[in-house]
Amino acid sequence: MTPRPILVVEDEPKLAALLCDYLRASGYAPHAVADGHGALAAFAALAPAVVLLDLNLPGLDGLEVCRRLRRASDVPILMLTARVDEVDRLLGLEIGADDYLCKPYSPREVVARVRALLRRADGALAGGAGQRASVGGFLFDEPGLRAWWRDRALPLTPVEFRLLRALLQPPGRVLARAQLLDAIHADFRDVSDRAVDSHVKNLRRKLQAALPEHDGIVSVYGLGYRFDLPLDEPAAAVALAGAKAGTDGSA
């Protein structure tokens, strides 16, 4: 199998070389660039499977590079940052990174995250054959981390997908922030309560775009959040397998 190309955007030459060594030893084909404009050019030429993106870069910074890549592509982006205060924004709607690591990080951890992102992206591609669940008017493609509202795709990040899935399992139940943290825990170990609120805020904004008449998420003061289905949606309609999305779901 051809090694999959990984774009490494890092302006510290020693760090870039170290990351490339680890990635190569793990069977990937790393390609390093040291600035933002180089990153955009290399992205177009290389079509990498994952992008490792340092936040502080000369010229075009990592935030802007991430924003531009995200506009053009769903490529998994792992942000490398020394700025913990930026994390909520990085994973949020505006920037759209898929995961992050704070410096100092171990190259081994970087490789583990790359592997996880690739697994997730591959799962999304194969999503048609995977498990689907419908709740009210929502349809969830679990392995692909994709969601629809009445055949309209919802542009959710993996964190938002897991939040919405948890809130609808079943709808109408109050979930404490700690429980929502558990639900998104799988890939994001250092997420705070406050970050849950900010992810819920982003999720709510996307739901409002798709369901302007009903955003569904209710804050329960002092406890957490609850999701109420529209009154005309039968809450009991929790069915497995792709009844709606065009596959016969008989896997």
Which residues of the chain form contacts with Ca ion (CB under 5 A)? 11, 54, 56
For residues 58 and 172, which CB has a smaller minimum distance to Ca ion in the complex?
Answer: 58
Minimal CA–CA distance to 217: which of 147, 157, 178, 160? 160
Least Cβ distance, residue 67 to Ca ion (angstroms): 17
Least Cβ distance, residue 234 to Ca ion (angstroms): 52
For residues 80 and 93, which CB has a smaller minimum distance to Ca ion in the complex?
Answer: 80
Least Cβ distance, residue 65 to Ca ion (angstroms): 12
Least Cβ distance, residue 39 to Ca ion (angstroms): 12
For residues 27 and 59, which CB has a smaller minimum distance to Ca ion in the complex?
Answer: 59
Spell out where the chain has E strands: 5-9, 29-33, 50-54, 77-81, 99-102, 132-135, 138-141, 146-149, 152-154, 175-176, 217-220, 224-227, 239-240
Cβ atoms of residues 235 and 170 within 8 Å: yes
For residues 11 and 141, which CB has a smaller minimum distance to Ca ion in the complex?
Answer: 11
The residue sitting closest to Ca ion, measured at its beta carbon, is 56
By the 10 Å C-beta count (0-12 exposed, 13-18 middle, 19+ buried), 250 is classed as exposed
